Amino acid sequence: MGRLENKVCVVTGAASGIGRETALAYLREGARVHALDRDERGLAELAARHPGLRVARIDVTDAAAVEAFHAGLERLDVQVNCAGMVAVGNLQACTAEDWQRSLDLNATSVFLMMRAAVGRMVPKKGGSIINVASVISSIGAAPDRFAYGATKAAVIGMTKSVARDYASANIRCNVICPSAVETPSMTARIEAMPDSAAARRDFAARQPLGRMGTPAEIAELAVYLASDLSGFMTGSQLVIDGGAKL
């Protein structure tokens, strides 16, 4: 405990899933955590249960809102970009709306958040940016995940570029690439399928370990990347997938 003592951390997509578990893990480690999301109800529930959290309803695809939020921070040590969506469909099934929404939330939001973050981190010569991508990206493919895979590949590319460009300012940028994780959004997608029990078994079987990951497991990796223990790590894509892409 205390690995993030007094660090100021911002986590997007914090109302549920990986973002929520990361925000809570950071809080337990002594950080001052700002939890961001568009889900007002989810944020209210989070704040009620964990009064130490600072919550803010923000659309991370809105450049002005992102800049205004960061301008109000006393300082910024760690930024975690978890907000995202999964559009289902292959190239021909991908609508213009699916493509634009995926691009906006999965990629443009990361661009906007990182741009605001480095503006706060460069003057103080340090910081850690952690992006959440996927093994469905430049690492590998999955059926009917055209827009998702393309935009998560973009996140990996942006991560490496930022890591290279800002290393001299002691700003580290790394990306976590999970496979299937048991989040509320994953559960909702499974339950919407005609045979949800079979779908759940199929998702679990894709990992040689025989199960999906948990948000807490991803959050623990995010704690390490935020801490000084990972101080020599930047530009890395960390695969945490139960062996799915072996």
110 with 146, same domain?
Answer: yes
Q: Return the pLDDT at 1.
A: 79
111 with 203, same domain?
Answer: no
Q: Is 69 part of any domain?
A: yes
41 with 151, same domain?
Answer: yes
Q: Is 225 part of any domain?
A: yes
Q: Return the pLDDT at 189.
A: 86
Amino acid, single-letter form, for residue 244: A
237-240 and 171-178 strand pairing: parallel
Active centre residues (catalytic): 148
191 with 165, same domain?
Answer: no
Q: Which of 88, 91, 83, 111 is nearest to 19 (CA)?
A: 83
The one-digit pLDDT tens for each residue of the chain (246 residues) are 799 999 999 999 999 999 999 999 999 999 999 999 999 999 999 999 999 999 999 999 999 999 999 999 999 999 999 999 999 999 999 999 999 999 999 999 999 999 999 999 999 999 999 999 999 999 999 999 999 999 999 999 999 999 999 999 999 999 999 999 999 888 888 998 899 999 899 999 999 999 999 999 999 999 999 999 999 999 999 999 999 999
194 with 130, same domain?
Answer: no
Q: Is 88 part of any domain?
A: yes
Q: Is 3 part of any domain?
A: no
130 with 198, same domain?
Answer: no
102 with 204, same domain?
Answer: no
Q: Residue 191 belongs to what domain range? A: 181-212
Q: Return the pLDDT at 73.
A: 97
16 with 50, same domain?
Answer: yes
Beta-sheet strand order (sheet of 78-81): 54-57, 32-37, 8-11, 78-81, 127-132, 171-178, 237-240
In the chain, the number of structural domains is 2
